[in-house]
Copies of this chain bind each other. A is one copy, B any other.
């Protein structure tokens, strides 16, 4: 193996979670939702290294509790992940924990492994019980149709209000051999991951020790799943799992750590941007870049505040280059800020600099905001060296409609 950047290439390939060798997947309809696929399995041929990052919400859902326990009990090894949509199995008390354990046990029975080698995730409405017979039936049927081509159905089966499935995979060519990273995720509302995200599943056919995989997953998530926001919410169920089958024959050790992070990031970023593009009511992907910050935390705090600002998100929805709202958020977000040195750029157009507005350039900036992929950049004006990027979407009347009508 060689370090990043020498003769390594990372190229996108098809195949989602089954692009890496050693994995099969399936998605079926079992009746948790009235219609549509609602149960997914991702299965490794043999016991694999496994890692997870989870929600920081203290109202933690049953499947998160069970997956954490299983990862600890197995020493960071897993054979499979079982996922349902249509029901979050959150705030469901002791009965909810029993159903989450049953899901692992039934998948283990179908696959011939220990229950502790199965990880569990759920997404959907909070506070509704998950019927044990329905989900058991789904697991049995999903296990029967596992295959290389199952990745697409699996990616559909984990959707709730998502407008489209989100998959990505890359092939990593190195002097030491070729390996793959694949993934799928879901998420549309209740999205502002802090140490986790909605549901994300990443596979690789590299051989990676569980502890190295965990560290790399945390690092890759920081600038991908943890750098997106749709509505500033952090769910009770947020989880990202990584499984490493080793089927490529390529071993990733400590010296290759940066390469591993880069490969995971390549997949996680595409998946994370897919969540934002498919955010509830979203019509635009907005890249928020903050520069000139004293510290990285200041940069990320300002980027997060801008990305969550209702006034910024509605202005962008309306195609309005309202730089004043960007300045106002930067000034209130708690990061070091100096108005006289601040700069606001929309697309490539500087609208405010050295205390002076350039409103005559507003039409140029408005033309940029009319597109679907838009960029805003704010320099905090204190001459610092740090920057950070967050991705968000605009806020539309459809967001309100979706969330005022979701449950009733």
Contacts and interface: CB of A to CB of B under 8 A. Distances in A.
Interface string A390-408: 0000011101111111111
A320 interface: yes
A10 interface: no
Interface in A27-62: 55-60
Given A311-B231, A329-B233, A60 B339 contact: yes
A260 to B, nearest CB: 30
Given A60-B331, A91-B324, A404 B311 contact: no
Contacts of A396: 400
6 contacts: A59-B327, A127-B324, A231-B310, A233-B311, A236-B324, A397-B397
Copies in the complex: 2
Interface hub of A308, A319, A328 (most chain B Cβ within 10 A): A328
A189 to B, nearest CB: 7
A361 interface: no
Contact of A190 (B57, B311, B357): B311
B126 A324 contact: yes
B233 A310 contact: yes
A244 interface: no
Contact of A332 (B234, B320, B325, B355): B234
Interface residues of A, number: 68
A93 interface: yes
Contacts of A355: 91, 93-94
A85 B330 CA distance: 23
A111 B4 CA distance: 73
Given A59-B337, A328-B236, A352 B127 contact: yes
B233 A359 contact: no
Contacts of A55: 332
B356 A404 contact: no
